[in-house]
Amino acid sequence: MTRNSFMRALALLLILCFDSAAFQNGHRVEGTVTDKTGAAVIGAEVAFTSGSFSVNQKTDVEGRFTLDVPSTTGKITIRAQGFAPLSKPWSEKDKSLEFVLEPDPISEEVIVTAARTETRVSDTGASLVVLSGEDLSTTAALTLDDALRQAVGFSLFRRSGSRTANPTTQGVSLRGVGASGASRAVVLSDSIPLNDPFGGWVYWDRIPREAISRVELVRGGESNLYGTDALGGAINIIRREPRDIDVSVEASYGNQKTPYGSFFAGGRVGQLGARLSGEVFHTDGYIIVDEDDRGAVDTAAGAEHTALDLTLERFFSGGRVFLNGSIFGEDRENGTPIQVNQTYIRQFALGADWQSARLGSFVLRGYASTQVFDQDFSAVAADRNSETITRSQRVPAQQTGFAAQWSRSAGSRQTFVAGVDYREVRGASDELAFIAGNLSSAIGAGGRERTTGVFGQDIIRITNRFIATVSARVDRWSNFDALSTTQPLAAPGPARVTLFDDRDETAFSPRLSLLYKLTDNFSLTGSGYRAFRAPTLNELYRSFRVGNVFTLANENLRAERLAGGEAGAHAYAFNRRLNIRGAFFWSEVTRPVANVTLSVTPALITRRRENLGRTRSRGLEIEAEARVTSEIVITGGYQFVDATVLEFPANTALEGLLIPQVPRHQFTFQVRYSNPRIITLGFQGRAIGSQFDDDRNELALDKFFTLDLLASRRVKGGVEVFGAVENVFNERYDIGRTPVRTIGPPTLVRIGIRFNLGSK
């Protein structure tokens, strides 16, 4: 052995001996890290520092950590994704520690919805609501759309939710621009639209609840970035992206024979990652017709669905590529023996994300899906003791699409975003028509739609306090290969074929948003924008029946166009424990698509989809969040909206009337108490003002108030038990009048268990 080698070995031996002696007289630091619900925070980074000494470790599946330190004093810092950092001094007297992490303050959240690029909430002038994972997990609502009703202004076509409602009524509306079966807001997940390609409505259960990290809602026209469907805003569902092994399961059972299960499993090993999630649900439902009007034909509106989603990822320097596949199946009973529907959806997607310090960020997406929607309709006798089948529909649809986006910061003052997207949809409505229960004819109608959009945006930080966002988009879409055929079946005869003209339209959608920070705690905002929504293939070619209301399609519909603006303020107080945001908004929609009543008889109401002349929605929204203590958080929102038909030359009797399905007043509140050692409680209340179910303002729906409650307690480690009650006071509020009164669900009670497991 050389002299140098001997000296290095001796030095190493001395160091080992010194370390061993030090830790023989050292100290052990033990503790747990949980969130406010008491659930273990897995993979949180725990760092101990004392002078020049430092050591760190990640928490295990139960949120525990153990550190051996040589010092008698030091500082412990906890960091975990989605939570605010937490630091505390430590001394040798502290044998076992419990750290409870707070969620990131809303001002520190990063979002992608408002600007298609990462932007802090405090730097955007958009009217934005972020529902965190904690918000979603502490609501009693079982379905995602019911959980989103915490955001004031969110509503579906009718007051009922996706638990029992026909899927064709599950289109979302924001800010009272007018409810419809088709959404007037785009719903996205991982930059891929979830709106039904044929009808525009949304299957809210396609993404298992356990796979959702948070949801962002932007109110106001967003066609400048997202094109058609974003007339009233955008909703972005952010999925969980675990860095380490992450497994969670929720299972529950409730009245109306309602079992439910949802799971998520994901993780990353080296450069490979995978995420698997699934959900199963069933409910016998309830009878939706008011007790005073029920007959022998009225049965419970039950539903069940199954969802499965798999993503495989390959990471590389600066980015990733992924492949995703999902399946979704749903069966519904709509309140009578004949009226049922089923849906089957298969979707594949692939994409890539890459970021370069010099070139910027790139996002690529491609997707394709195929689906089948089956539904049977009936005519119900006046005494509701019998029904007769009227139509049996099968609606096949396919879509393909891709999107490409680039963004890059230019110094500290500007951020550029540009992109292009394309989508093509093919769909048809194949029907068997019946007269007096006898098969009379086969009817087929459908066509194709192709949409291409190009957009650009510049976020300009004029000063540290003044931010301007300028964006614009051009869309061109065409309807082609559309036709309708009718083949008589009751008696021999030739088929009648009607060819519809090909049509093209173009839309230009600009937006200007301004934000001025008067102080660090007070900002003023303002926006002006234009937006549009092209009619869906469903509105153009598919007729349908709900109860005794028959609605005809209209192949001549044109795109809706919106012009609007808003002005608001955002304030913080009490060391940012109080957060208040408010805005005045105004929008006018030209050529809005509405269901216009053509005739009314005791047995049948006939309507037709028409472009009205012009409608206006204007009002005020106020939202607040108060962190009263570390355990108590109170949030609430109020919206007043005046939604009126301004012009309809074809039927001036509708001018001055209120837009149907839009309440003038909405109020929501949530109270959350989180003490992991004792209990977690969540209250959600919702008050909805009166509204009308029809364009003539003759069928009124009364105001109502509901209260939901959730209570949970951690049993051990990542195991939690809970109980949830929706509609605590059993409020039987109006859902619709067709003209028979239908009512909302009774009290819904369920109990369940949650597991949150993982590894380092």
Q: What is the CATH number of the domain that holds 33?
A: 2.60.40.10
Distance CA 657, CA 642 (A): 10
Q: Note whether 398 and 472 are same-domain residues.
A: yes
Return the residue matching tokens 């004792």: 678
Q: Note whether 36 and 120 are same-domain residues.
A: no
Q: Note whether 170 and 252 are same-domain residues.
A: yes
Which amino acid is it at 326? Answer: S
pLDDT band (50, 70, 90) for residue 108: very low
Mean pLDDT of 465-470: 94
Q: Mind listing the pLDDT tens digit for each residue in 665-680?
A: 999 999 999 887 789 9
Q: Note whether 84 and 130 are same-domain residues.
A: no
Distance CA 644, CA 619 (A): 12
Q: Note whether 92 and 223 are same-domain residues.
A: no
pLDDT at 50: 81
pLDDT band (50, 70, 90) for residue 744: very high
Distance CA 14, CA 613 (A): 89
Cis peptide before 660 (omega within 30 of 0): no
Rounded to the nearest integer, the mean pLDDT of the chain is: 88
Mean pLDDT of 437-443: 91
Q: What sign for the dihedral angle of Cα 10, 15, 20, 24?
A: positive
Helix (H) or strand (E) holding 147: helix 144-148
Mean pLDDT of 433-446: 90
pLDDT band (50, 70, 90) for residue 6: very low
Judge whether residue 174 has pLDDT over 70: yes
Judge whether residue 716 has pLDDT over 60: yes
- CB contact at 8 A, 109 and 135: no
For the full predicted model, state whether its pTM sits above 0.75. Answer: yes
pLDDT band (50, 70, 90) for residue 95: low
Distance CA 19, CA 22 (A): 5
pLDDT at 18: 41
Q: Residue 102 has what DSSP assignment?
A: P
Considering the chain, what percentage of its residues have pLDDT values greater than 70?
93
- Domain-located, residue 4: no
Radius of gyration of the chain (CA): 28
The tokens describing 495, both together, are 């088929």
Expressed as residue numbers, the domain containing 556 is: 106-758
What CATH number has the domain bearing residue 120?
A: 2.40.170.20
Beta bridge partners of residue 250, listed in sequence order? 262, 754
Q: Note whether 583 and 693 are same-domain residues.
A: yes
Strands, E assignment, 288-386: 300-316, 319-333, 340-356, 360-380
Distance CA 401, CA 186 (A): 15
Q: What sign for the dihedral angle of Cα 227, 228, 229, 233?
A: positive
Q: Is 15 helix (H, G, I), strand (E, B) or coil?
A: helix
Mean pLDDT of 677-695: 92
Q: Mind listing the pLDDT tens digit for each residue in 54-81?
A: 788 888 767 888 888 887 788 888 887 6
Q: Residue 500 has what DSSP assignment?
A: P
Q: Mind listing the pLDDT tens digit for each residue in 598-657?
A: 888 877 888 888 898 999 999 999 999 999 988 899 999 999 999 999 998 878 998 999
Q: Is 266 helix (H, G, I), strand (E, B) or coil?
A: strand
The tokens describing 294, both together, are 């029920």
pLDDT at 760: 35
Which of 96-100, 411-415, 590-594 shows the highest mean pLDDT? 590-594
- Domain-located, residue 91: yes
- Domain-located, residue 1: no
pLDDT at 639: 96
Find the DSSP H helices in 192-278: 223-226
- Domain-located, residue 192: yes
Q: Note whether 443 and 541 are same-domain residues.
A: yes
Distance CA 281, CA 258 (A): 7
Phi, psi dihedral angles at 196 (to 5 degrees): -60, 130
pLDDT band (50, 70, 90) for residue 114: low
Q: Among the three residues 73, 100, 127, which one is the final residue of a domain in this structure?
A: 100
pLDDT at 756: 86
Q: Note whether 649 and 500 are same-domain residues.
A: yes
pLDDT at 63: 81
CA atoms within 13 A on the CB side of 281: 30
Q: Note whether 204 and 149 are same-domain residues.
A: yes
- Domain-located, residue 2: no
Show the 3-state SS of 443-484.
Answer: EEEEEEEEEEEEEEEEEEECCCCEEEEEEEEEEEEEEEEEEE
Q: Note whether 258 and 307 are same-domain residues.
A: yes
Q: Note whether 370 and 502 are same-domain residues.
A: yes
Mean pLDDT of 192-209: 93
pLDDT band (50, 70, 90) for residue 700: very high
pLDDT at 10: 44
How many distinct structural domains can be found in the chain? 2
Beta bridge partners of residue 97, listed in sequence order? 31
Mean pLDDT of 317-326: 94
Distance CA 752, CA 137 (A): 12
Q: Among the three residues 75, 100, 125, which one is the final residue of a domain in this structure?
A: 100
Q: Among the three residues 77, 100, 123, which one is the final residue of a domain in this structure?
A: 100
pLDDT at 107: 44
Mean pLDDT of 118-137: 81
pLDDT at 437: 87
Judge whether residue 24 has pLDDT over 60: no
- Domain-located, residue 639: yes
pLDDT band (50, 70, 90) for residue 11: very low
N-terminal to C-terminal alpha carbon distance within the chain: 42
95-99, 111-115, 316-320, 493-497: lowest mean pLDDT where?
111-115
Q: Residue 5 has what DSSP assignment?
A: H
CA atoms within 13 A on the CB side of 234: 26
- 106 or 202, which is more confident: 202
Q: Note whether 36 and 145 are same-domain residues.
A: no
